[in-house]
């Protein structure tokens, strides 16, 4: 699908702290390129404290359905949630261009959007669009049932604990440049202390897995953790989740299995199971929390639903 972008008024969603502050630094360069290509646009700077989703939702409901995201996976997650919560347009009628500036940038690896800002802007200008699925997590928090949408990955068990700890460390050292290394070091540290919890997964295909889980994760995209490849066969546009379930295993075995996360061949490990489904429910004897696109959410029981072709973005033409 190709559209003419010459008459649109865009909103640039800019996360000023994305990429350890690089986004704000290179803003003048990006604006110069957009202006040279006759883009007409306004800028919204994302804000801390969870208010950005509501603000972006208001922007869309005011009539702007062409967005450019200048940020990383966290900023994209906020935009995806705003797209799903707004009521003016069908979600797939909100078109999103991405200029990757974050430190992880896992979603763009599957979407094949280059990190080069000039190439990324050229893709938006060309107007080639593609739709992918969005996940919806329904969970419990502070005695209420809430929802959070995601476009790349979600998880619980060791996965969510690592995300929580890594986010805290990033907050304490906002100038940290290597978040991939931070994730790996946090994963190894958390692994030695983690005590597997009994969980049960039930899918819409009447499949069930239960037992002590080391890690549980859902993939729409293929990458997470700054370049790990836990979902090598995930197709973001097929309507299905790729589900990873890692049962408890000896710590020394996990250490030797760890490199397979980067090579995409974790499936050869006996304790690893993959499922494909459109809906699943995660329950546990003790409430455990989860994460979506690197953002910590609430507690089990959690239901995950795949919403087909709900997120529309500008991509390379083929």
If we measure between CA atoms, which residue out of 209, 222, 215 comes closest to residue 244? 215
Q: Enter the pTM of the model.
A: 0.91
Give CA–CA dist 281/138, Å, rounded.
Answer: 9
pLDDT for 13: 97
Given a contact cutoff of 8 angstroms between Cβ atoms, the answer to whether 255 and 245 are in contact is no
Can you tell me whether residue 104 is helix, strand or coil? coil
Q: Do domains 9-133 and 135-308 have the same CATH topology?
A: no
The domain segmentation of the chain, as residue ranges, is 9-133, 135-308
Given a contact cutoff of 8 angstroms between Cβ atoms, the answer to whether 301 and 141 are in contact is no
Given a contact cutoff of 8 angstroms between Cβ atoms, the answer to whether 282 and 135 are in contact is no
Q: Measured at the alpha carbon of residue 181, what is the angle toward residues 276 and 183, in degrees to the nearest 5?
A: 45
pLDDT for 61: 98
Q: What is the 3-state secondary structure (H, E, C) of 295-314?
A: EEEEEEEEEEEEEEEEEEEE
List the beta bridge partners of residue 131: 312
**Positions of the chain with pLDDT under 70:** 1, 3-4, 6, 165-180, 183, 318
pLDDT for 174: 44
Can you tell me whether residue 169 is helix, strand or coil? helix
Can you tell me whether residue 183 is helix, strand or coil? helix
Distances from the Cα of 81 to the Cα of 104, 110, 135, 164, angstroms: 19, 19, 10, 20
> What count of Cα atoms within 13 Å lies in the side-chain half-sphere of residue 293?
25
If we measure between CA atoms, which residue out of 51, 48, 128, 133 comes closest to residue 91? 133
pLDDT for 179: 62
Q: Which helix (H) or strand (E) holds 9?
A: strand 9-14
Residues 6+ apart with CB under 8 A from 14: 23, 24, 27, 43, 44, 45, 46, 70, 71
CATH code for the part of the protein at 9-133: 3.40.50.10330
Q: Assign domain 135-308 to a CATH class.
A: mainly beta
Give CA–CA dist 310/213, Å, rounded.
Answer: 31
């Amino acid at each position: 699908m190709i559209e003419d972008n010459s008459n649109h008024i865009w909103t640039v969603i800019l996360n000023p702290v994305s990429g350890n502050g690089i986004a704000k630094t290179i803003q003048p360069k990006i604006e110069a390129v957009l202006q040279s290509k006759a883009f007409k646009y306004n800028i919204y700077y994302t804000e801390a404290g969870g208010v950005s989703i509501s603000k972006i939702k208001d922007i869309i409901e005011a009539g702007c359905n062409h967005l450019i995201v200048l940020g990383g996976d966290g900023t994209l997650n906020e935009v995806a949630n705003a797209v799903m919560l707004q009521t003016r347009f069908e979600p797939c009628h909100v078109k999103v261009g991405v200029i990757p500036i974050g430190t992880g940038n896992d979603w763009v690896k599957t979407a094949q959007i280059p990190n080069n800002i000039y190439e990324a802007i050229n893709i938006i200008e060309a107007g080639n669009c593609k739709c992918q699925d969005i996940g919806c997590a329904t969970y419990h928090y502070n005695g209420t049932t809430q929802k959070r949408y995601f476009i790349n990955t979600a998880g619980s068990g060791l996965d969510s604990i690592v995300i929580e700890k890594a986010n805290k460390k990033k907050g304490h050292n906002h100038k940290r440049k290597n978040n991939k290394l931070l994730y790996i070091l946090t994963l190894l540290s958390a692994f030695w202390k983690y005590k597997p919890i009994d969980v049960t997964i039930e899918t819409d295909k009447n499949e069930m897995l239960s037992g002590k889980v080391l890690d549980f994760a859902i993939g729409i995209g293929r990458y997470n953790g700054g370049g790990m490849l836990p979902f090598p066969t995930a197709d973001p546009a097929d309507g299905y989740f790729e589900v990873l379930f890692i049962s408890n295993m000896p710590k020394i075995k996990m250490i030797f299995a760890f490199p397979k996360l980067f090579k995409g061949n974790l499936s050869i490990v006996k304790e690893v199971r993959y499922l494909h489904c459109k809906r699943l429910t995660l329950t546990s004897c003790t409430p455990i929390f989860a994460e979506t696109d690197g953002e910590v959410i609430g507690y089990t029981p959690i239901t995950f639903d795949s919403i087909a072709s709900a997120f529309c973005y500008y991509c390379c033409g083929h």
